[in-house]
Chain A
Amino acid sequence: MVSSGNMSNLVLEIKNLTRRFGVFTAVDDLTLSVNAGEVFGLLGSNGAGKTTTIKMLTTLLPPTSGEARVAGFSITTQAVGVRRAIGYVPQAVSVDGSLTGYENLLIFAKLYDLPHREQQARIAEALDFMNLAADAKRLVGEYSGGMVRRLEIAQSTLHRPKVLFLDEPTVGLDPIARDAVWKHLIDMRANYGTTLFFTTHYLEEAESHCDRIAIMHQGKLDALGTCKELEASLGPGHTLNDVFVHYAGSALDTGNNFRAVSAERATAERLG
């Protein structure tokens, strides 16, 4: 296991983070740090606890025990500070289909207190950056899946968050749309130094974009490191897929639940 970086450089410090639902432990004693500017991938089969982890880090779900600091703010005692410092793209569709693309951005510009003078410039820049300028005045209900995802990313980064949490940002997208989303994410990191913390089921995505990855299985952190390190840890000639199968049991594990599937379906339907 590798975890490097001095204290001041850590944008995410997770210590013994645990979440139970009744007797079931969804996230089990997770400890992990992420450096500023890092692209960090959280992998794991359905039900591994990825979304639960992100919900705790974004202050949507209180942990049962343990603690985490996001951009220096405690998720339990300084939730508002955390919220100001992060952007969040949930697993399901999070922009409003009955507003235009422009309006979806404008409401967040206002909610995040962007200075009035800067709002229009920021929105225009974000629309340009995400290749959505031509469709800004259209209702989002008419957008394609790739456009919706790009708009969601634009929306959650208008305020230049230190950390952007993305829960399966490319699920349900065709390969071209996926590449476009990633191109924008990588550009954003380059331009603004945004730390990207995301979950995915696509191993090749993790392999080509992540500085480091973590593999979760049944709520526990099973592996952490760069792709190279993890592959090497199994001995020569292993792929990331082998690593995943080794740690997560199989690519298609049990533990898949109705809510996860219906959320995913809802996404697919809307992105349809």
Chain B
Amino acid sequence: MTATFIHPLTSFVQKTFVITEFELRKLRHDFTELITRALQPALWLLIFGQVFARSGAMHTGNIPYLDFIAPGILAQSVLFVAIFYGINVIWERDLGIVQKFLASPTPRAALVLGKGFSAGIRTLSQAVIVYSLSLLLGVKLNWSPLALFNVLVIVILAATLFSTFSLVIACIVKTRERFMGVGQVLTMPLFFASNAIYPTDIMPGWLKMVSHLNPLTYVVDALRTCMLAGSPSTLGLSLDYAVILMTMTILVFVGARLYPRLAT
């Protein structure tokens, strides 16, 4: 045996990145997926966005409507991609892969967070797509390196958050059929009860309250602050980051507790 003593925290960080690395290695052949994923944000921005921008129905203050929803659509596509991530662990469970990892000394939280990060990095392609479309549509973007870096971090954290949420659901429902059902039921409410495509000011009181409990609202606000020229934040970037990081941490803990259920 070659067990050397390693500090638990060091080990946790190391193992998390090992899991992330190998999850990403699996993607080498996944180019069709990148193309199909580009479709949805394109439809939302090019059709929905343009129609509503023309109608002038949405009052988004001094920001043009297309500018207003570009970060919202990025957040939405991050959500839609990440929320179905859990199907992979169900697939790995139906084989024996999850069981084998759980029988290894790898910390459970590292298994969960490692997978979450990999989903986060995968989702960066959505940022590239939304930025390209925004450029095409004349959205006034903030190109400062700090702003771009923030967008990168927010997208990764948001995707980690929602993919970990997805993994938690997978650990509870355990079968593909139930998982797809739950995933579909959850995405639309999360999306509509947020500030992604309209400001929370125009919502009825109850919905406004719900939207403030919805992590997607904070993701959208953070992206809006960093992506757009003029940094139009409603909630404040620090609050956004705090809510995102806290929700993510809680979900990783819950995921680490529930993940062993997949092996039983």
What residues on A are CB-neighbors of B104 within 8 Å? Answer: 83, 108, 111-112
- A94-B97, A107-B18 known; A58+B103 contact, CB < 8 A: yes
B1 at the interface (CB under 8 A from A): yes
CA distance A155 to B3 in the complex (A): 17
B147 at the interface (CB under 8 A from A): no
- Chain A, residues 89-124, CB within 8 Å of chain B (1/0): the string is 111111110110001000110111111001000000
Grouping DSSP codes into helix (H, G, I), strand (E, B) and loop, the B interface class, with mixed when no group exceeds half, is: helix
Is there contact, CB below 8 Å, between A113 and B264?
no
What residues on A are CB-neighbors of B22 within 8 Å? Answer: 96, 99, 103, 107
What residues on B are CB-neighbors of A61 within 8 Å? Answer: 263-264
A266 at the interface (CB under 8 A from B): yes
Q: Which residue of chain B is the closest to A59 with respect to CB atoms? A: B103
Is there contact, CB below 8 Å, between A160 and B264?
no
The minimal Cβ–Cβ distance linking B142 to chain A, given in whole angstroms, is 37
Is there contact, CB below 8 Å, between A115 and B4?
yes
Is there contact, CB below 8 Å, between B106 and A111?
yes
Is there contact, CB below 8 Å, between B103 and A60?
yes
Q: Which residue of chain B is the closest to A88 with respect to CB atoms? A: B103
Is there contact, CB below 8 Å, between B2 and A86?
no
Please report which residues of chain A, range 157-206, place their CB below 8 angstroms from some CB of chain B when the two chains form the complex.
159-160, 162
Is there contact, CB below 8 Å, between A93 and B95?
yes
A232 at the interface (CB under 8 A from B): no
Is there contact, CB below 8 Å, between A99 and B3?
no
Is there contact, CB below 8 Å, between A159 and B95?
no
CA distance A59 to B1 in the complex (A): 19
A1 at the interface (CB under 8 A from B): no
What residues on B are CB-neighbors of A59 within 8 Å? Answer: 102-103
Name, among B21, B25, B29, the residue most crowded by chain A CB atoms within 10 Å (CB to CB): B25
Is there contact, CB below 8 Å, between A60 and B25?
no
Q: Can you list the 10 inter-chain pairs with the closest CB atoms, starting with the nearest?
A: A90-B96, A94-B96, A92-B96, A60-B263, A88-B103, A94-B100, A98-B26, A83-B105, A58-B103, A110-B18
